[in-house]
Amino acid sequence: MKELVIKYKSVLKFILTFLVVYGALTVAYKLYLDYSKADNHPDDVTHLVAKQTDLLLQNFGYDSKIEKHPNEPSMKLIINSKYVARIVEGCNSVSILILFASFVIAFAGKWKATFLYILAGSVLLYVVNLLRIVILSIGLYRYPWRSEELHTVIFPLIIYGMVFLLWMCWVNRFSTLTTTHD
C-alpha cells in the first residue's frame, strides 16, 4: 500500500487539492447565495449577467429587455415583446469558474502564473458564457422548437469545451506538476 501511495503521490495530491479547493470555493459560493437571497431577487452576479446579456442583444439590433421574475429569483429575458428565457443562478458561470480554478490550482504551477491564468481564463469563460447566453436567446427567439437541443446539448458543449481547452493549455504549457514513473 505504501508503495502505491509513493508511486501515485502526485495523482493523490492533485485529487486531494482539487477536492479541498473545489469544496471550499463551493461552500463560499453557497454562503454568498444564501446571504444574497432577498424577496425572490436573483443574486448580484446573475442580475449583472442578465443586464449584460440585454445590453449585448441590444447592440446586436434586438429590441430586448429584462424583468425581475415575479415568482422566483431569476430575470425574464424578453426579445421583441416575446418572453424567450429566464436567466437563473446557473447561467451566471460562477460554478464553472469554480470548477476551472480548482483544476488549475490542483495542477500546480508557479504562484504568479497560476493566479494570472485563473484570472485570464475566468474573464474569457465569463465572456464566452455571456455570448453563449446571447446566442442561445437569439436561437430560442428564432427557433423555439429547437430549445431542448440548444439548451441541453449545443450550449453546454460550448462552455465545457472552452473549460477543457483552457485546462489542456494549462497542463501542457504552464503547469509545473510532473509525474514520475519507476
Mean pLDDT of the chain, nearest integer: 89
pLDDT at 176 over 90: no
**Confidence category of residue 58, pLDDT binned at 50, 70, 90:** very high
Q: Which of 3-7, 24-28, 30-34 has the highest mean pLDDT?
A: 24-28
Give domain status of residue 9, yes or no: yes
| Coil vs helix vs strand at 177 | coil
pLDDT in tens, 37-46: 767 789 999 9
Q: What is the mean pLDDT of residues 136-146?
A: 91
* Residue 182 pLDDT: 40
Q: What is the mean pLDDT of residues 7-25?
A: 91
DSSP of 68-87: E-SSSSSEEEEETTEEEEEE
pLDDT in tens, 147-157: 888 888 888 88
**Confidence category of residue 56, pLDDT binned at 50, 70, 90:** very high
* Residue 41 pLDDT: 84
Give domain status of residue 8, yes or no: yes
Give domain status of residue 161, yes or no: yes
* Residue 68 pLDDT: 92
HEC profile of 132-173 = HHHHHHHHHHHCHHHHHHHHHHHHHHHHHHHHHHHHHHHHHH
Higher pLDDT, 170 or 5: 170
Give domain status of residue 32, yes or no: yes
Using alpha carbons, select from 103, 123, 125 the residue that is nearest to residue 114. 103
* Residue 50 pLDDT: 96
59-79 burial: b if 16+ Cβ within 10 Å, else e: eeebebebeebeeebbbbbbb
pLDDT at 179 over 50: no
Give domain status of residue 181, yes or no: no
Number of H helices, E strands in the chain: 7, 3
Domain span at 162: 2-174
pLDDT at 76 over 70: yes
Q: What is the mean pLDDT of residues 164-168?
A: 94
Give domain status of residue 169, yes or no: yes
Indicate yes or no: pTM above 0.85: yes
Give domain status of residue 90, yes or no: yes
- The total number of structural domains in the chain stands at 1
Give domain status of residue 182, yes or no: no
